[in-house]
Amino acid sequence: MSLTLIGRTIDKYRIDKQLGEGGMGAVFEAFHMTLQRRVAFKIVHPHLASQAQFQQRFLNEAQTVAKLDHPSIVKVYDAGFSDGILFIAMEYIEGGTLSQHIKSFTQKKKAFKLREGLFILAQAADALDYAHHRPEKIIHRDIKPDNIMLRKLDVPDAPGEPPLRTVITDFGLAKAALGPDGGTMTGSFLGTPAYMSPEQCRGQTLDGRSDIYSLGIVLYQIATGRLPFMIRTPAEAVTKHLFETPPPADQVRPGLPAAVVQIINRALAKESGARFGRAKQMADALRQVAHQLADDETQSVYFTPARPSESIVTQVESFAHAPSVAAGFSRVQAGARDQIVITRAGVPPQTVVVNKPSLTIGRTPDNDVQLDLEKISRHHARIDQTPDGYSVTDLGSTNGTMLDANRLLEGVPQSWESGQTLRIGNCFLRWTMGQQASVPMASMQQTPYPQQMGAGRQPYASAFTASAFDSMQTPLGASRLQSSGGRIGVVVKPTELRVEPGQRETLQVQIFNRGMTVDHFDLSMSGLNREWYSLPQESVELMPGAQGALTVLLHPPRSSSTTAGDHKFKLTVRAQSDQEAAAAKANLHVLPFVAFSAELHPSIIEHKKSARLSINNESNHPTTFAIEASDPAATIRFGGVPPSIEVDAGAAVTREIKISARKRHWLGMKKSMPYAIAVTPMDGQGVAIPQRKNGQMSVKPIIPRWVVRGVGMLLTLGLLAGAFLYTRITNEQKAEIATQTAVAEAGANSAEQTRQAADANAAATKVAADAALATAAAEGTKSAEAAQLAGDDDGDGLSNQQELALGTEPDNPDTDQDGLSDGQEVNIFSTQPKNQDSDTDGMLDGLEVQNGTQPLNPDTDGDGLPDGIDDDPLVPALPTPNVPATQAAIAAAAALEAANAEATQTAIAEAALSSADATATQVSIDTTTEAVKAAVAATETAIAQAVTVAPPGLWEGVWASQCDVILCEKMEIRQSGNEIEGVFANGNGKLIGEVEGNFASGKWSLGGADGSFDFWLNEDGKSWNGNWNKTFGWCGGRSNSDVPASCGVASWYGQWKTACGTGDCEVMEIIQTGEKIFGTYANSEGIIEGTVQGTALTGSWNRNGGSGTIGYYMLPDGEQFNGNWNTDFEWCGGRSGNGLPDPCLNSGFVVFTPVELVIDPVFVDPEPAEPILGEPPILIVEP
């Protein structure tokens, strides 16, 4: 962070002095112009502040910390974003950091009093305990001496304690460095490696005991004079914090009190459960030991071979009175001539009037400005007047000359602008412009002193320095040019670039400093969308004649707004000293790509209605799409189908397509006619798969069913009326007529009885179906609610994970376009969500549900005709006519023929006719009554069957089980539909979950602990394999002999965010069936297949014609994995909502970490066999 901010006003704050700099930003002493008070002003590094998500997290954390009110936590006054600068304003603590005091003791070779150190850390522990037990449960995450400040008090807080107040800074700000999914920012290693806890190294969820471990590292440091581990890299941090024991503190520093050693050992326990449960417990222990220690030399800490000890209180007082550089400058008034203002600690500022073109500064009297101080050389630096102000040259000093944060090169003039701070030894210098003209420059020399330049060195003799730029040839495909003033040379290569949207290309810009002074050069670009490129954040510093290179990354997004074709742009290199610039032109050719989506709505329509076809062109150029409509039976007529449609990039069009049947059927029920609309891009730009949208047309018969029934009734009434009209004809004719009439009536009655029975059966079937549907709908509602909680992007009642397992589309509620959502098919109707016609009867599943037929029964009414071609699929074929009625009519005719007397015959005929009518009517009534009774009985039976609980499922019963670490033993499962619950560990543990096919998942609890489980049932139904908490083995069988020999399968299914070195792997989707996995990555361009064994996944990858091997190894909590592709290249990932492991390791040996489980010991296996899955591995790069 450059000192150029000193003197600048940001928002309401004037920046006066830089106090320090760290990984997140720099801290300055600033002055609030309105409230007239000093503050500590932290400015975040630009590469973090420029990220919108980081800004929001930073400001949110600042708001949270501002609510903290504890004397040992720094107060937050303000936070904001102004002029591109992200800042936080905090309480100003004058006494310095613990880190600064440790360094000061080392430099002065003084000893540190242990007693005072224990009281300091006790107050720090008080502050941590307060934050840990706030409602927000704030964890610091980066406790170290740099974040522990000290303030001098007038009187001690408590008797026997030193008059100091410990103040912890940066509370909660480390959390802002976490990514949006909880992982660290790309390329970062959250926390300071030397002070990180084991759980931080693993990337686990943290609690207050992580801060206790870090405070234990600080305690070890101030108690022994050294850190417990010498750590240089993140990999070393993982190894040492997880697996190595630090040297015993009383061996490093013999004579260290045993009570202090005990506190250190407990705070540094590898297992968080073995540490202090609360920071307050550690604070109490520290104070108890501190009060017992004598305040003498025997209890002092030596950071180096040291002289007698010194109280840290004395040092804090000296830090509190250190002057502000900018404050010293501000007290000097402008004079008649230019003057140089010199400030240093404890001394009032002094001024030097510039009365000659060149001034020398050094320790000896022969200098124009004598500074006889430590760290200043005899002839240290020279200041020369220039047309624009002044330049400064280091004359070979021992300790160097600093201009802002940059150390000057020996003998090379550097432009010194007004407002810049020059540092020589412990002195700070600035120059101010006078009210009169400057000293004439006629006698000014640019020649350095010979004794400082050395033999053979020559002064600059021309306006420009020679460089490689002057002699080089322009490379092929490059552009070579210089600025109008000639001080800047630029080579850009290449100037013509081609890139596919979503891919990357790089461009190199070489910069040559042809001037006579050191300068900084900035690179800017114009002509392209800002999202298409990335420029270096920092400027390049070049001495005269030197050259440097900057890389520009071009990455136009894969979007319809990234227009295909040529895009001209300009690169500008500008010198910071005088804004002289050189500009080069280049061209970016964006390649075309094809992407589109099509929708058909509604997917089910009536005869002679219209469907709307919508096409959204997601390509980056106008695209023509071919449209083709078809139906398998060639029974549909399509109107308004254009042969092709041209759609602009990023635009959408809609066309109406009229659909009708070529020929309608006369009788029966509605029929379903499937059809499809295919949309195919015709431009041949890139590769795009045609999209086929399925639909169906519903066609009603020409003559409705009620017309057929009405005609039947009229015919029956006509026959009855005719019988009574002819009762008085001749006896023989009467008998014949009577017989015929009886037969006709019997047939009519039989037909009507049959029709009534059929209607009753149909009604019973519908009642049964409605009852079953109601029960299934209730179950489906529960499943849909569960899916919504688990993540259901398309709202179809199935979770995204369920859809991946079934092979349906998570973003399409009706994958097979049959009129039923995927969730309805699975949870309610048990139909196939990827098959429009589950029972292959020629009728779509959705239409069957709409019409009342059974989508899983090809012949609902059992008449031998499939529902799709049956005119009346709910009415069975007519049964045999009523035999008793027919026989009665024949008997009546015989009786009439036997009569002799005409009168008698007439009477008998009439009587017989009446008898036949009565008999036929009675039989018909009896038969109809029986049919009704049968229909009622069928209805009752159907209803009873509909509400009966489903028979036991595949998971029902008693299982022998075994698992890692815990004693799971016998398991008993009860299943109801898609839900299971059970007990294990001889009834002490419980589990509850859901079933999807052969997969069961849910939650377990045992002995105060709980977690998740995933089980996969084998095809024989006798055994299953799986895990608890994603990485620990758990398997079972119907008997002990059925338990799988290779027990334990980690859970890899779901969505992962991955990184694979130089590759672009992006999001990976994995489907898992027990030991087998299949997945896609890189926007489905790549495919992986493999086998899971324990926590390891091995297999192969295939992408764009290339292929190779993969090896993944799951990390402890099952949320991240490390691994490789083709053995030598890293490939790691984290589940959605989790970050990537840091570092992302590619190969090495597997190290098993101890199992962490808070559970009643009675349920833990005292003598576990060989690990089933093994403890989750941590990969360490081989040395």
How far, in Å, CA of 189 to CA of 201, rounded?
Answer: 9
What does the angle CA 8 – CA 14 – CA 18 come to, to the nearest 5 degrees?
80
Confidence band (pLDDT; 50, 70, 90) for 296? low
CATH number of 1054-1147: 2.40.128
H helices, E strands: number in the chain: 22, 60
Confidence band (pLDDT; 50, 70, 90) for 284? very high
Cβ of 281: how many Cβ atoms within 10 Å?
Answer: 16
Average pLDDT estimate for 701-720? 68
Give the pLDDT score at 383.
94
Question: Of 5-9, 437-441, 506-510, 842-846, which one has max mean pLDDT?
Answer: 506-510
How far, in Å, CA of 947 to CA of 944, rounded?
Answer: 5
pLDDT of 919 higher than 60: no
pLDDT tens for residues 376-421? 999 999 999 887 788 999 998 988 898 876 778 888 888 888 778 8
Beta bridge partners of 394: 381, 410
How far, in Å, CA of 431 to CA of 392, rounded?
Answer: 11
Cβ atoms of 30 and 43 within 8 Å: the answer is: no
Asked whether this chain's domains 331-448 and 596-658+674-699 adopt the same fold, the reply is no
Give the pLDDT score at 966.
81
Name which residue leads in pLDDT, 974 or 757: 974
Name which residue leads in pLDDT, 944 or 407: 407
The Cα diameter of the chain in Å comes to 172
> Is the CA virtual torsion 954, 958, 959, 964 positive or negative?
positive
pLDDT of 165 higher than 50: yes
Average pLDDT estimate for 717-744? 54
**Token output for 318:** 């000296």
pLDDT of 1012 higher than 60: yes
Confidence band (pLDDT; 50, 70, 90) for 298? very low
Lowest mean pLDDT of 53-62, 436-445, 791-800, name the range. Answer: 436-445
Q: Which CATH superfamily is domain 97-319 in?
A: Transferase(Phosphotransferase) domain 1 (1.10.510.10)
Confidence band (pLDDT; 50, 70, 90) for 708? low
Cβ atoms of 562 and 590 within 8 Å: the answer is: yes
Confidence band (pLDDT; 50, 70, 90) for 1014? very high
Residues 6 or more apart in contact with residue 516 via CB below 8 angstroms: 413, 446, 460, 463, 464, 465, 544
pLDDT of 952 higher than 60: no
Average pLDDT estimate for 735-744? 48
Given the DSSP bridges, would you call strands 13-21 and 1120-1125 parallel, antiparallel or unpaired?
Answer: unpaired
Name which residue leads in pLDDT, 361 or 456: 361
Q: Which amino acid is at 719?
A: L
Question: Of 364-378, 402-416, 732-746, which one has max mean pLDDT?
Answer: 364-378
Confidence band (pLDDT; 50, 70, 90) for 1142? confident
Q: Which CATH superfamily is domain 1-92 in?
A: Phosphorylase Kinase; domain 1 (3.30.200.20)
Give the pLDDT score at 1085.
81
If you classify domain 468-590 with CATH, what class do you get? mainly beta
Confidence band (pLDDT; 50, 70, 90) for 254? confident
> Is the CA virtual torsion 804, 807, 809, 813 positive or negative?
negative
Confidence band (pLDDT; 50, 70, 90) for 726? low
pLDDT of 731 higher than 70: no
Give the pLDDT score at 697.
86
Give the pLDDT score at 170.
85
Average pLDDT estimate for 47-65? 84
How far, in Å, CA of 596 to CA of 613, rounded?
Answer: 13
HSE (side-chain half, CA atoms, 13 Å) at 261: 13
Give the pLDDT score at 754.
47
Give the pLDDT score at 721.
63
pLDDT tens for residues 586-636? 999 999 998 889 998 888 888 888 899 999 999 999 999 999 998 877 889
Give the pLDDT score at 898.
44
Nearest to 70 by CA among 152, 206, 171: 171
Q: Of how many residues is the chain composed? A: 1183
pLDDT of 71 higher than 90: yes
Which residue is catalytic, options 16, 142, 394, 867? 142
If you classify domain 596-658+674-699 with CATH, what class do you get? mainly beta
Cβ atoms of 665 and 671 within 8 Å: the answer is: yes
How far, in Å, CA of 990 to CA of 1007, rounded?
Answer: 10
Give the pLDDT score at 871.
67
Name which residue leads in pLDDT, 233 or 1037: 1037
Given the DSSP bridges, would you call strands 369-370 and 358-362 parallel, antiparallel or unpaired?
Answer: parallel
Confidence band (pLDDT; 50, 70, 90) for 90? very high
Give the orientation angle of helix 731-790 with respect to helix 902-947, to 10 degrees.
Answer: 10
Give the pLDDT score at 213.
96
Q: Across all residues in the chain, what is the average pLDDT?
A: 77
Say how many Å lie between the first and final Cα of the chain, rounded.
34
Nearest to 1023 by CA among 994, 1004, 1045: 1045
pLDDT of 42 higher than 80: yes
HSE (side-chain half, CA atoms, 13 Å) at 961: 32
Confidence band (pLDDT; 50, 70, 90) for 849? confident
Give the pLDDT score at 319.
63
Q: What is the pTM of this model?
A: 0.37
What does the angle CA 24 – CA 28 – CA 34 come to, to the nearest 5 degrees?
120
Given the DSSP bridges, would you call strands 427-432 and 644-647 parallel, antiparallel or unpaired?
Answer: unpaired
One-character DSSP codes across 717-756 = HHHHHHHHHTTTS-HHHHHHHHHHHHHHHHHHHHHHHHHH
Q: Which amino acid is at 1014?
A: D
Q: Which element (helix H / strand E) includes 87?
A: strand 85-91
pLDDT tens for residues 798-830? 888 788 778 888 888 888 888 888 888 888 888
Q: Which amino acid is at 838?
A: S
Cβ atoms of 672 and 634 within 8 Å: the answer is: no
Give the pLDDT score at 949.
33
3-state secondary structure of 1009: strand
How far, in Å, CA of 734 to CA of 910, rounded?
Answer: 9
**Token output for 863:** 């008449």
Per-residue CA distances from 929 to 768, 842, 972 (Å): 21, 36, 51
CB-count exposure of residue 140 (10 Å: 0-12, 13-18, 19+):
buried
Residue ranges of domains in the chain = 1-92, 97-319, 331-448, 468-590, 596-658+674-699, 704-948, 1054-1147
Question: Of 172-181, 530-539, 918-927, 941-950, which one has max mean pLDDT?
Answer: 530-539
Question: What's the chain's Rg over C-alpha atoms?
Answer: 45
| 954-991 core/surface letters (b: 16 or more CB in 10 A; e: else) | ebeeebbbbbbbbbbbebebebebbbbebbbbeebbeb
| 662-688 core/surface letters (b: 16 or more CB in 10 A; e: else) | eeebeebbebbbbbbbebbbeeebeeb
Q: Which element (helix H / strand E) includes 342?
A: strand 339-344
**Is 648 a known active-site residue?**
no
Give the pLDDT score at 878.
45
HSE (side-chain half, CA atoms, 13 Å) at 352: 20
Question: Of 212-221, 248-257, 844-853, 1110-1119, which one has max mean pLDDT?
Answer: 212-221
Which fold is adopted by the domain 331-448? Tumour Suppressor Smad4 (2.60.200)
pLDDT of 1 higher than 50: no
